[in-house]
């Protein structure tokens, strides 16, 4: 059974194909170069680029799998949250395709897709899921597919956003996460950063203090590698401390770490030693992509969830608890 999944929630056009629950093709057309000159994602430019790329990318994905549109059993797309203009391109394309093929359509929540990317086939809930990306830092208790309880989120910047901002401060490229990780590996020493919200009772995250600290340390003339390493260690330690405490308090022993930041190897190493059973997305599935959307649709289909009506619109704002 073939499922086509599409994600155009932000600045990457993602088209993926999943066959019987396994990723067969996963193509991502990056817009990094397009937005570079502006120092951030320009929503209108993102929408236009999605529009240019979506159809050829979908055709290439089908060709790589050696199938045609009629071989698809299901079509799925990210409905939200994200940039509304960007979302609309992939979402409307997918709905149109499903309608033309007379095949069921699944509207997928972007964070459920990130979680689906890290969710190994045989694992049953309950478990904890940390989604750390450029737009989100959310910790959920996953009671079942479609039953999510938010335990905590960031008060300010998302984890990936902090990596991006500190990278920019250090004169590194975008996205900043991989750049910081590479520079931190080269560092022989580190400038220590304080771990945020150490004494809180809840499960909130905060990254703006680390960013401010980085500004001060750059002005004080500290070398970039030592700064990158100090920042990365504090950011990772903060994520780990909150999640480990939540696991202790709630009795969960299993954790999924998803989203772009989950690709960070220092983070993976820190969570591996946390005394929990931890799962990360396979390579290429942690950042935004279409295959994770198809994986979420596969889980919804397997779970007996009804397809979505084609009258359902995309939405920029959509809490996961309501998905
Ligand atoms: O999930 P994603 O592709 O897009 C959003 O939904 O936001 O996440 C992108 C974010 C960026 O902020 C990027 O810097 C970060 O994930 N990221 C990383 C790494 N790779 C990507 N952060 C830390 N370490 C990495 N290796
Ligand atoms: Zn994402």
For ligand 1, what atom is nearest to the CA of residue 176? Answer: 14
| CA 264 to centroid of ligand 1, rounded, Å | 9
For ligand 1, what atom is nearest to the CA of residue 158? Answer: 12
Mutational test site, ligand 1, from 11, 13, 40, 133, max ligand atoms within 8 Å of CB? 133
- Give the pLDDT of residue 76: 99
Q: Please list the pLDDT of the chain residue by residue as tens digits (323 residues).
A: 999 999 999 999 999 999 999 999 999 999 999 998 888 899 999 999 999 999 999 999 999 999 999 999 999 999 999 999 999 999 999 999 999 999 999 999 999 999 999 999 999 999 999 999 999 999 999 999 999 999 999 999 999 999 999 999 999 998 999 999 999 999 999 999 999 999 999 999 999 999 999 999 999 999 999 999 999 999 999 999 999 999 999 999 999 999 999 999 999 999 999 999 999 999 999 999 999 999 999 999 999 999 999 999 999 999 999 99
- Give the pLDDT of residue 36: 87
The set of protein residues with a Cβ atom below 6 angstroms from ligand 1 is 10, 133-135, 160-161, 163-164, 175-178, 181, 259-261, 263-264, 287-288
Which ligand ends up closest to the CA of 11? Answer: 1
CA distances (Å), origin 131, targets 60, 117, 142, 193, 313: 29, 11, 12, 23, 24
- Give the pLDDT of residue 40: 85
For ligand 1, what atom is nearest to the CA of residue 133? Answer: 8
| CA 283 to centroid of ligand 1, rounded, Å | 13
Distance from the first to the final alpha carbon of the chain? 24
- Give the pLDDT of residue 288: 97
Q: Which helix (H) or strand (E) holds 138?
A: strand 137-144
| CA 187 to centroid of ligand 1, rounded, Å | 21
Q: Which residues contact 166 (CB under 8 A, 6 or more apart)?
A: 176, 180, 210, 211, 214, 227, 228, 231
The three-state secondary structure class of 107 is strand
- Give the pLDDT of residue 51: 98
Residues 20, 21, 27: CA angle, nearest 5 degrees: 105
For ligand 1, what atom is nearest to the CA of residue 259? Answer: 1
Which ligand ends up closest to the CA of 12? Answer: 1
Which ligand ends up closest to the CA of 108? Answer: 2
For ligand 1, what atom is nearest to the CA of residue 263? Answer: 26
Which ligand ends up closest to the CA of 172? Answer: 1
For atom 14 of ligand 1, which residue has the closest CA? 177
Q: Which residues contact 31 (CB under 8 A, 6 or more apart)?
A: 11, 12, 13, 41, 45, 46, 49
132 pairs with which residues across the strands? 137
Mutational test site, ligand 1, from 135, 177, 182, max ligand atoms within 8 Å of CB? 177
């Amino acid at each position: 059974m073939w499922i086509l999944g599409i994600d155009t929630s932000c600045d990457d056009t993602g088209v993926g194909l999943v066959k019987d629950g396994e990723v067969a093709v996963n193509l991502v057309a990056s817009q990094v170069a397009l937005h570079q000159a502006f120092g951030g994602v320009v929503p209108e430019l993102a929408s236009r680029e999605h529009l240019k790329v979506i159809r050829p990318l979908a055709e290439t994905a089908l060709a790589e799998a050696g199938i045609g549109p009629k071989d698809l059993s299901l079509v799925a797309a990210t409905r939200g949250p994200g940039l509304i203009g960007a979302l609309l391109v992939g979402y409307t394309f997918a709905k149109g395709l499903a309608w033309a093929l007379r095949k069921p359509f699944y509207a997928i929540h972007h964070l459920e897709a990130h979680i689906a990317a890290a969710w190994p086939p045989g694992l049953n809930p309950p478990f904890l899921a940390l989604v750390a990306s450029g737009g989100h830092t959310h910790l959920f208790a996953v009671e079942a597919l479609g039953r999510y309880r938010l335990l905590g989120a960031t008060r300010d910047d998302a984890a990936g956003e902090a990596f991006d901002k500190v990278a920019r401060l250090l004169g590194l490229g975008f996205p900043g996460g991989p750049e910081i990780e590479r520079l931190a590996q080269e560092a022989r020493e580190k400038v220590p950063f304080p771990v945020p919200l150490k004494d809180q009772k809840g499960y909130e995250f905060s990254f703006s203090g680390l960013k401010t600290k980085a500004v001060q340390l750059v002005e004080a003339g500290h070398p970039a590698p030592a700064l990158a390493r100090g920042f990365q260690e504090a950011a990772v330690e903060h994520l780990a401390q909150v999640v480990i405490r939540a696991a202790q308090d709630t009795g969960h022993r299993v954790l999924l770490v998803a989203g772009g930041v989950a690709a960070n190897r220092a983070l993976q190493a820190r969570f591996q030693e946390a005394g929990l059973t931890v799962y990360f997305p396979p390579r290429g599935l942690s950042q935004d992509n279409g295959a994770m959307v198809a994986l979420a649709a596969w889980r919804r289909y397997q779970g007996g969830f009804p397809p979505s009506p084609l009258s359902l619109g995309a939405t920029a704002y959509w809490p996961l608890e309501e998905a």
